Amino acid sequence: MWRTRAAAACVICRSLANSSYGIKRKSPLQNLHLISRSIHHPYYPSSKFQRPPLRISIQLFSSLNRLPLCKTKLLNVKYGYQFHRNFWLARLASRLLKLRYLILGSAVGGGYTAKKTYDQWKDMMPDLDEYKWIVPDFIWELDEHIDFEKLIKAIPDADELAKLLPDFDKIGESFTSLKGFFSPGYNLVSEVIGASDLLLLLGSPGETAFRATDQGYDNDKQYKKVSDKEKVDQLQEELLRTQLKYQRMLERLEKENKELRKLVLQRDDKGIHQRKLKKSLIDMYSEVLDILSDYDASYNTQDHLPRVVVVGDQSAGKTSVLEMIAQARIFPRGSGEMMTRSPVKVTLSEGPHHVALFKDSSREFDLTKEEDLAALRHEIEIRMRNSVKEGCTVSTETISLSVKGPGLQRMVLVDLPGVISTVTSGMAPDTKETIFSISKAYMQNPNAIILCIQDGSVDAERSIVTDLVSQMDPQGKRTIFVLTKVDLAEKNVASPSRIQQIIEGKLFPMKALGYFAVVTGKGNSSESIESIKEYEEEFFQNSKLLKTCMLKAHQVTTKNLSLAVSDCFWKMVRESVEQQADAFKATRFNLETEWKNNYPRLRELDRNELFEKAKNEILDEVISLTQVTPKHWEEILQKTLWERVSTHVIENIYLPAAQTMNSGTFNTTVDIKLKQWTDKQLPNKAVEVAWETLQEEFSRFMTEQKGKEHDDIFDKLKQAVREESIKRHKWNERAEDSLRVIQHNALEDRSISDKQQWDAAIHFMEETLQSRLKDTESVIEDMVGPDWKKRWLYWIGRTKEQNIRNETKNELEKLIKCNEEHAAYLASDEVTTVRKNLEARGITVDPCLIKDTWHQIYRRYFLKTALNHCNLCRRGFYYYQRHFVDSELECNDIVLFWRIQRMLAITANTLRQQLTNTEVRRLEKNVKEVLEDFAEDNEKKVKLLTGKRVQLAEDLKKVREIQEKLEAFIEALHQEK
């Protein structure tokens, strides 16, 4: 249609051009529309219009004469006119023959140059043949079907046509007055439509406004203004009454609906319908978010699932808005101080009872009871403080809370710590930066809905959060702005239009999807939700901001805010959840491929499954302790116990007793020392040995590799379990008392029953003495240096101190040879004698060095003598049975070692029974307790079960779980649609 009009306009313009011939101005054809010109001009040559007279000016030129020639007068050339052939004209033409050729040549050259320039410009122009389809074919054929000549004759002249056109200036003034008249009615009707969905049946706001204005139109301008004002006031009052009427109707219907849904949900809980309730849609979605919060995105799969992020300046009213949406005072409150110290994820869902519970707890808090509300606030405060590490003020750890109740809008909100501008005393230095990083981490999610809370009672220029939000969402495609404390703002703000500018988004540089104004109470922390709602409704009903149309009805109250946020949340969920599911599906494929390439023969066991496998292996190894043979236990215990007490027996019991003069004194000394030893040290030493033996055997089983089946991934866990179990295990306190009695009775017995026991005692004594003699020889060699053989064979020399000790040793050996029954200690005069003998040979010796050397020399002499005595006592069993009567041979030392040997055997047997019957079971119990404690401590498991294999299996499990839950959620979401 518009192309036909363009063609017609082009014909009109030609007519105007013809009618204005002779006027010195641009032809209207030059100002025509591009499309009309493109339609008409191709057919211009075919039109039969009369050509305008051609006016030409000719300038004469001669190449023979450089003088300027005179210009001829302009000639009016008319078509069909012939000049008279006069002879003077012919003569003049013949004389100007050269000039004719010059003019002809110039014309030919100029034409060629013009054609070349035209071709160049034509090549530079783009080819528009491909876009010829834009203009319909019938446009190009208009001249075949329409007689433009008749149409031109029928069109009047330009002057007559101009008279027919209206005065556009007067029309503009009329539209301006109409615009000012229509705008009040339009605003009022749009507010009513925004306030109640029932008014959508009334029609569009523009039609209603025009209907209202058409009825009040009057020709008298002054009377019209007065009449319009009265009608606007009447219409405004009527609309407000209608709004309140429908608002009460909606509230009554919602209340009835809420009660009915509560009854239905309660019947479902009691099982009246005898059907199993599935998880609600929002609960399924919240589970996915909880899993994602624990998932470490190591494979570039970020959490882009929607949630409502509540941000705002400190004390701007974030928590109050959240409580109004949740319809319960669930958060700890404080005046001016920071109360939100960590992110709190609140999942709102519908249920028959108004309750709250934490993700990791089964306790339900009844939000209708004040004592449960106080307990919930206290629990949230404790969890926040526990999540904050030492030296910090805020924490990144998220506290997950679910709130259910009738009439709650389903959504997931995250309350973040308030943004601060200054770090005060008592805060960590990095508190401000930490809060900014936490807020940015949540807001940078492209699908997160940002609920920006601004305090309306303070100057807008003091806001910090608006700049932060505008940085994260510059286009405002996912931001909802909320102005709190509007009641205080209306009282304190001098210009109410400033509030209107804020709500219309004209004051802040940030953009938003919607703007809301709410009132969250009078500032009293003891106010109930119901009283706050009543105060908010009463305020907005009487507020001038609403009556004067500065605020629209659908932009006020937390109820409208909750509905808008919930709708936006679910819209964002439906748009993005399938894309997130596809992303996790691709991540799962990548992880499975990596596992197949790296661990083709291993099952995909995550950290918990590996822990259970290691737990079973450790318990099997503990049970293996009960399979150790009694003989093995007793041999280990007896050997270890003797190694522990042999020094005491030799040094404190045998050597002092051997210095006595007769057998009676020897036996008395031995009995006394054995009694003292048994009462004070021996039982404790025996228990220590048994406990260490149990530890060594347990460690051996835990660290023993089992061939190809051994998995080194459990080594750290097994070591930690072993150390913690041993640390917790304590030997039975009564074991020492019973063991003391048994040992004392064993040492009291002196009766060797047969020759075999006698020989065994001699063998035991010889082994002990030879071991001590070997140790003593080694000590003496270190003191005096190598002997002459080693010096010659290995070219090793003695030091100066070794030479002194060697000379001292030689002097002391001479002393022993002179008196073979010498006592164990040197007398003072003997020390002086040795020192003087050495000084006579030019060797200065300290008396302490002499005594120290004597101790080792005499010890070696005594051990050699005792070994010789053992050989003599091999045939002394017969004399022993006769109590060495009429015999010079005395073998009381053999009896002593038999008593020691028998005590060791009885003690080892007793400890073995305690081990197998009691201590191994107690150790197994301790191991189970340690494993149970480790199973509940995720940080401990992460620390002990590490490696690429564990992390890969853990990521694979998480991704599978997320994908499965997302697919289940998407299926339920489609069913709900």
Joined together, the tokens standing for residue 200 give 């959508």
Q: What is the pLDDT of residues 89-101, one digit of tens each?
A: 666 666 666 566 6
The model's pLDDT over 25-47, given as tens digits with 9 standing for 90+, comes to 434 434 433 333 333 444 334 33
- List the single range of 128-142, 558-572, 910-924 with lowest mean pLDDT: 128-142
What does the pLDDT read at residue 878? 78
Q: Which residues of 132-155 are buried (b: 16+ CB within 10 A; e: fewer)?
A: eeeeeeeeeebbeeeebeeebeeb
With 0-12 CB in 10 A as exposed, 13-18 as middle and 19+ as buried, what is 191?
A: buried
| 3-class secondary structure, 303 | coil
Cα–Cα distances in angstroms (integers) from residue 177 to residues 172, 213, 222, 327, 469, in the given order? 9, 12, 13, 48, 41
Average pLDDT over residues 313-323: 86
* Structure-token match 């080693």, residue found: 790
Residue 665, pLDDT above cutoff 70: yes
Instruction: Judge residue 593's burial from the number of C-beta atoms within 10 Å of its C-beta, 0-12 exposed, 13-18 middle, 19 or more buried.
Output: exposed
Q: What is the DSSP letter of 882?
A: T
Contact call for residues 581 and 967 (beta carbons, < 8 A)? yes
How far apart (Å, rounded) are the C-alpha atoms in residues 252 and 312? 34
Q: Select the more confidently predicted residue: 815 or 207.
A: 815
With CA atoms as reference, report the closest residue to 520 among 463, 567, 455, 452: 455
pTM over 0.75: no
How do strand 355-358 and strand 399-405 relate by DSSP bridges? antiparallel
Confidence tier at 70 by pLDDT (50, 70, 90): very low
Q: How far is it, in rounded angstroms, from Cα 265 to Cα 847?
A: 101
3-class DSSP assignment, residue 506? coil
**What is the structure's pLDDT at 101?**
65
Amino acid at 311: V
Using pLDDT thresholds of 50, 70 and 90, give the confidence band for residue 593: very high
Mean pLDDT estimate for the chain:
76
Neighbours of 580 (CB within 10 A): 23
What region does 565 belong to: left with phi over 0, alpha with psi -120 to 50, or beta? alpha
Distances (CA, A) of 51 to 7, 17, 75, 77, 727: 21, 12, 17, 12, 120
Q: Can you name the residues that pair with 345 across neighbouring β-strands? A: 400, 414
According to the model, what pLDDT value does residue 923 have?
Answer: 87
Question: Does the structure show a pLDDT above 80 at 204?
Answer: no
How far is residue 764's CA from residue 48's CA, in Å, rounded to a whole number?
Answer: 147
pLDDT over threshold 50, residue 276: no
For residue 154, the model assigns a pLDDT of: 62
Model confidence at 201: pLDDT above 60: no
| For the chain, the helix, strand and coil percentages under 3-state DSSP, each to the nearest 5 | 65, 5, 30
Number of residues that make up the chain:
977
Specify the range with the lowest mean pLDDT, choosing from 60-64, 120-124, 663-667, 928-932: 60-64
For residue 219, the SS3 value is coil
Let me know: does 959 contact 587? Beta carbons within 8 Å.
Answer: yes
Q: For residue 212, what pLDDT is reported?
A: 35
Q: Cβ contacts of residue 23 below 8 Å, gap of 6+?
A: none
Contact assessment for residue 777 and residue 860, using Cβ atoms and an 8 Å cutoff: yes
Closest CA to 626 of 681, 694, 546, 541: 694
Residues 374-382: what's their mean pLDDT?
A: 90
CA 80 from centre of chain: 96
Give the number of other CB atoms < 10 A from CB of residue 903.
25
pLDDT recorded at residue 565: 92
Using the predicted structure, report yes or no on whether residue 136 has a pLDDT greater than 60.
Answer: no
Q: How confident is the model at residue 773 (pLDDT cuts 50, 70, 90)?
A: very high
- Cβ burial of 87 (10 Å; 0-12, 13-18, 19+) is exposed
**Distance (Å, whole) CA 98 – CA 95:** 8
Name the more confident of 167 and 647. 647
Give 482's pLDDT tier (boundaries 50, 70, 90).
very high
Mean pLDDT value across residues 469-481: 90
Following DSSP, what letter does each residue of 333-375 receive, concatenated?
Answer: --SSS----S-EEEEEEE-SS-EEEETT----EETTSHHHHHH
564 token code pair: 């808008």
For residues 668 and 656, give the distance between their C-alpha atoms in angstroms, rounded to a whole number.
11
- How far apart are the C-alpha atoms of 398 and 443, rounded to whole Å? 15
| pLDDT(853) > 70 | yes
Give the C-alpha separation, 182 to 675, whole Å.
118
Find the angle CA(818)-CA(822)-CA(825) to the nearest 5 degrees. Answer: 125
- Three-state secondary structure of 721-737: HHHHHHHHCCCCCHHHH
Instruction: Tell me phi and psi for residue 596, to 5 degrees.
Output: -65, -35
Buried-state track 404-427, b at ≥16 Cβ within 10 A, e below 16: bbbbbbbbbbbbbbbbbeeeeeeb
pLDDT per residue as tens digits for the range 226-272: 466 677 767 767 776 776 677 667 766 766 666 666 566 555 554 43
Which pLDDT does position 900 carry in this prediction?
A: 93
Query: Positive or negative CA dihedral for 939, 945, 946, 949?
Result: negative
CA angle 541, 511, 196 (to 5 degrees): 30
Q: Would you say 952 and 595 are in contact if contact means Cβ atoms under 8 Å apart? A: yes
Per-residue b/e over 360-385, b at no fewer than 16 CB within 10 Å?
eeeeebebeeeebbeebbebbbebbe
> Rounded mean pLDDT of 949-974?
88
Q: Copy the structure tokens of residue 643.
A: 């190694």
Q: Which residues, in sequence order, are bridge partners of residue 514? A: 480
Q: What is the pLDDT of residue 906?
A: 94
pLDDT of residue 485: 87
% of residues, the chain, pLDDT over 90: 15
| DSSP designation for 313 | B
Tokens for 970? Answer: 């998407």
Say how many C-beta atoms besides its own lie within 10 A of residue 653's C-beta: 20
| Amino acid sitting at position 700 | R
Taking residue 400's Cβ as centre, other Cβ atoms within 10 Å add up to 21
| The two structure tokens encoding residue 49 | 């219009």
The partner residues of 481 in beta bridges, in order of sequence, read 452, 515
**Distance from C-alpha of 710 to C-alpha of 704, rounded to nearest angstrom:** 9
